[in-house]
DNA sequence: TAAGATTGAGGAATCAATCTTT
DNA sequence: AAAGATTGATTCCTCAATCTTA
């Protein structure tokens, strides 16, 4: 079942590898490579879009998460979890976003180690202008899939996600 | 159809957004976010694995592509296409890989602008040691999917890939 | 002029270490 | 000690500019 993937090793090559490495499973390798490549190209495409709007992917992820919680504030640590980046990265992103006036940090009186972050009015305005365009792009991206297919894709992706620990192990 | 995704905006939040932004399509947004997040976590997991072996994802991608063509050499520009990174990035990766003795660059007499790249014997040995472990991890990652499901996932991913131009447009 | 490869400056993310508060 | 946030050094990647050959 060759998948005719431009820019990826063709199936014959993978079968040849299988002969040399008994653990190689061509279908698994091919699908994994495709997933990584599609994701990589997708990141690149979104990044170009974000750059046009003067932000980065990381900053957008922070803003959209803050909006999702708005008007409730969010802790930096939770932003790190929700966006899948390091706490150190969040600190850097917040520094820039605060300098641009899009978010505001505030201390928490009950526990002075903590900080809360929320959108400023300026941040809300920024998102109100950006999101219609953004959502139109997402809609275009997924336009080729029916609702049922989107659901199937999500289910399969969650299964892949469950396998991620196997990649990290000893 | 809530997908119960930890660390992603829940469905209610997306539906609330839909009320505010008419172009927002909750199922599309949710699936897109899931795809990006799974890919991101997967990149992170593979990166940890590559780091343990003393290389980076980019260097691995170059090596595996060279192996796929071996014993034929590959031009830097083609490596860029196949790995989905910039030519500038390839140059940097090749510099390190050459310094480590894993690949060799050679001039092309017919057209002296061109360069060809191939694995050294040392590079082949490196891959022979790395790949069994690597393939075992890929196998573990995809172990939750049947062959039919892998095929379905690949098909859906290719449909998403076809939608990427919509993300870049005006 | 253009193609192909490379270099250098800059941004974003990580790890390890630090600082403050509990 | 430990939790939470931040900083500094480093790595990887991109963009724009450069260099060489066609």
Higher pLDDT, B63 or A16: B63
Confidence at residue A22, expressed as pLDDT on a 0 to 100 scale = 80
Tell me what pLDDT residue B85 has: 95
Q: Which nucleotides of C are covered by protein (CB under 7 A)?
A: 3-8, 11-17, 20-22
Q: pLDDT tier at A38 (50, 70, 90 boundaries)?
A: very high
**Average pLDDT, integer, range B117-141:** 95
Whether B107 CB is under 7 Å from strand C? no
Query: pLDDT confidence of B32, banded at 50, 70, 90?
Result: very high
Q: How confident is the model at residue A7 (pLDDT cuts 50, 70, 90)?
A: low
Q: Is the pLDDT of residue B40 over 70?
A: yes
* Helical H segments across B55-146, by residue range: 57-69, 76-83, 87-99, 121-142
Are A137 and B167 in contact by the 8 Å Cβ rule? The answer is yes
The SS3 assignment for B106 reads strand
Q: What is the pLDDT of residue B15?
A: 79
Residues of A in contact with B66 (CB under 8 A): none
Chain B: closest CA distance from residue A107 (Å): 24
The verdict on a CB contact (< 8 Å) between B34 and A166 is no
pLDDT of residue A9: 67
Contacts of A41 in chain B (CB under 8 A): 84, 161, 164
Cα separation of B98 and A2, whole Å? 33
CA–C1' gap, A97 and C3, in angstroms: 41
Q: Verify if strand C has an atom below 7 Å from the CB of A109.
A: no
Task: Report the pLDDT averaged over residues B155-164.
Answer: 97
What was the pLDDT predicted at B5?
A: 40
Total-model pTM: 0.91
Candidates A131, A85, A129, A123; CA nearest to A105 is: A123
Beta strand B103-107 with A103-107 is unpaired
> Above pLDDT 90, what percent of chain A?
83
Q: Is pLDDT above 80 for B42?
A: yes
What is the largest distance, in Å, between two alpha-carbon atoms of chain B?
64
The residues of A between 68 and 97 with beta carbon within 7 Å of nucleic strand C are 84-86, 88-89, 92-93, 96
The partner residue sitting opposite B132, judged by closest CB among A23, A28, A41, is A23
Q: Is the CB of A116 under 7 A from strand C?
A: no
Q: What is the pLDDT at residue A8?
A: 67
Length of chain A: 170
Percent of chain B with pLDDT over 70: 95
The C-alpha of A43 sits at a distance from chain B's nearest C-alpha, in angstroms, of 8
In tens, the pLDDT along B2-25 reads 233 446 667 787 778 778 888 888
- Say whether A155 sits in a helix, a strand or coil: helix
- Nearest nucleotide to B88, CA against C1' atoms: C6
Q: Tens of pLDDT along A49-61?
A: 999 999 999 999 9
| Residue A77 Cβ < 7 Å to strand D | yes
pLDDT of amino acid B139: 95
Position A15 scores a pLDDT of 78
Mean pLDDT value of segment B80-105: 96
pLDDT digits (tens, 9 = 90+) for A90-132: 999 999 999 999 999 999 999 999 999 999 999 999 999 999 9
Number of Cβ pairs < 8 A linking chain A and chain B:
242
Q: Is the pLDDT of residue B77 over 80?
A: yes
Interchain contact, B153 vs A39, CB within 8 Å: no
Q: B69 CA to D18 C1', in Å?
A: 31
Give me the pLDDT at residue B7, please. 61
């Amino acid at each position: 079942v060759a998948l005719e993937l431009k820019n990826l090793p063709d199936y014959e090559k993978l079968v040849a590898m299988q002969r040399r490495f008994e653990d190689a499973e061509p279908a698994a390798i091919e699908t994994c490579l495709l997933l990584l490549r599609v994701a990589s190209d997708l990141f690149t495409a979104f990044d170009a879009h974000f750059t046009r709007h003067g932000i980065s992917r990381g900053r957008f992820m922070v803003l959209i998460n803050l909006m999702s919680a708005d008007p409730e504030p969010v802790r930096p640590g939770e932003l790190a979890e929700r966006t899948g980046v390091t706490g150190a990265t969040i600190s850097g992103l917040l520094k820039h976003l605060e300098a641009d006036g899009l978010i505001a940090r505030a201390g928490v009186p009950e526990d002075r180690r903590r900080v809360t972050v929320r959108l400023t009015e300026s941040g809300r305005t920024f998102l109100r202008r950006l999101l219609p365009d953004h959502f139109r792009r997402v809609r275009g991206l997924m336009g080729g899939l029916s609702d049922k297919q989107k659901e199937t894709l999500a289910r399969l992706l969650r299964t892949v996600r469950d396998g991620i620990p196997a990649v990290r192990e000893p």
